[in-house]
Amino acid sequence: MNEETIKLLEKRRSLRSFSDAPIEKEVLDKMKRLTLRAPSAGNMNMFSIVEVTDPAIKKELSVLCDNQLMIAKAPGVWVFVADMERWYNWMKKGGSEERIGKPVRQPGIGDFHLCMQDAIITAHNAVIAAEALGMGSCYIGDVIENYEKMQKLLNLPSLAAPAAMIIFGYPKAEATAPMTLRPEPEYFFMENGYRVQTPEECLKMYEKHEDSYRARGVLPNNNTGTYADYYFNRKYSSEFMDEMNRSAEVFIRRWCEEEKK
Ligand SMILES: Cc1cc2nc3c(=O)[nH]c(=O)nc-3n(C[C@H](O)[C@H](O)[C@H](O)COP(=O)(O)O)c2cc1C
């Protein structure tokens, strides 16, 4: 048993406030190598990582990602891209069609999904690597918003779609807030097949979350609402979720439909 790894997984938490200390080159190089040890479908590594070092681009990203200013202040900013561009061009322009004797088809939604899996799994290796190197990190889900502007800012071709983003660096101070809660494993692990859960089960599943939100006085309807009401009101029906859905539809359509030269 590797106790250190177990401890690392138990203690990982999102970090949103970073020390000004720069990340040393050797540490960053190590993090890159560890990141790339992630498993990858067919070992084709269908992702790229845009490493944002330009403060002006970090600032712009922070605006595009729902005005999260911590992005502009983060020492490390990596955007993980689901990348079929590299392989598609290599196969198409590198002569594979002629040598193999069949056309290179337009990438489809299955390719998209596989590239996404590669990119996101790699992103999480980066999160764990950062942790092991004494840093902390936070995912930024809003990277899939504002696709047209994001695409221009990061120079993304149609077959390189935003998949995930992490910001990382050394912690400013020792974390004091309690760890975030998780429901018990029995609610997520469904033996030998899916089991639909009733609202009553969900209430039980998220009982502790609800208690802690109630204690903070943040549930809707004068604090009488459920945790589902909170999620529905603050996230699911928010403008940023509408924008995420619009933006993701644009990049998925472009991926599948755009005629390649
Ligand atoms: C896909 C994804 C997107 C996320 N996006 C954001 C974000 O935009 N801003 C943010 O502050 N945290 C973001 N987070 C961090 C979550 O809020 C955090 O993981 C969750 O509250 C659990 O906290 P913990 O990571 O400290 O355990 C994101 C996490 C994931 C996995």
Atom of ligand 1 nearest to the CA of 65: 8
Q: Do both 216 and 247 map to the same domain?
A: yes
- Look at the alpha carbons of 114, 117, 121, 127 in this order and tell me if their dihedral is positive or negative: positive
- Distance from the CA of 217 to the center of ligand 1, in angstroms? 21
Tens digit of each residue's pLDDT (9 = 90 or more) over 139-193: 999 999 999 999 999 999 999 999 999 999 999 998 899 999 999 999 999 999 9
Query: In this structure, is residue 39 part of a structural domain?
Result: yes
Which segments within 39-159 are labelled E, that is strand?
A: 47-51, 76-83, 136-139
Q: Do both 133 and 7 map to the same domain?
A: yes
The pTM assigned to this predicted structure is 0.97
Q: Which residue type occupies 156?
A: L
Query: In this structure, is residue 219 part of a structural domain?
Result: yes
Query: In this structure, is residue 10 part of a structural domain?
Result: yes
Q: Do both 70 and 187 map to the same domain?
A: no
- Distance from the CA of 26 to the center of ligand 1, in angstroms? 27
Is 65 within 8 Å of 137 (Cβ atoms)? no
Is 90 within 8 Å of 103 (Cβ atoms)? no
Q: Do both 35 and 162 map to the same domain?
A: yes
Question: How does the average pLDDT of the chain come out, rounded?
Answer: 96
Tens digit of each residue's pLDDT (9 = 90 or more) over 32-56: 999 999 999 999 999 999 999 999 9
Q: Do both 164 and 186 map to the same domain?
A: no
Query: In this structure, is residue 101 part of a structural domain?
Result: no
Q: Which of 138, 117, 142 lies closest to 126, judged by CA? A: 138
Q: Do both 41 and 11 map to the same domain?
A: yes
The range of the structural domain enclosing residue 214 comes to: 181-261
Q: Do both 26 and 147 map to the same domain?
A: yes
Upper half-sphere CA count for residue 179 (Cβ side, 13 Å): 8
Most ligand 1 atoms within 8 A of CB, residue of 12, 71, 131, 139 to mutate: 139
Q: How many domains would you assign to the chain?
A: 2
The tokens of 77 are what? 């900013």
Q: Alpha-carbon distance 140 to 162, whole Å?
A: 11
Q: Which residues line ligand 1 (CB under 6 A)?
A: 13-14, 16, 68, 138-142, 180
Query: In this structure, is residue 99 part of a structural domain?
Result: no
At residue 197 the predicted structure's pLDDT band, cuts being 50, 70 and 90, is very high
Query: In this structure, is residue 120 part of a structural domain?
Result: yes
Tens digit of each residue's pLDDT (9 = 90 or more) over 66-108: 999 999 999 999 999 999 999 999 999 999 999 999 999 999 9
Q: Do both 117 and 244 map to the same domain?
A: no
Query: Ligand 1: which residue has its CA nearest to atom 30?
Result: 139
Q: Do both 243 and 219 map to the same domain?
A: yes
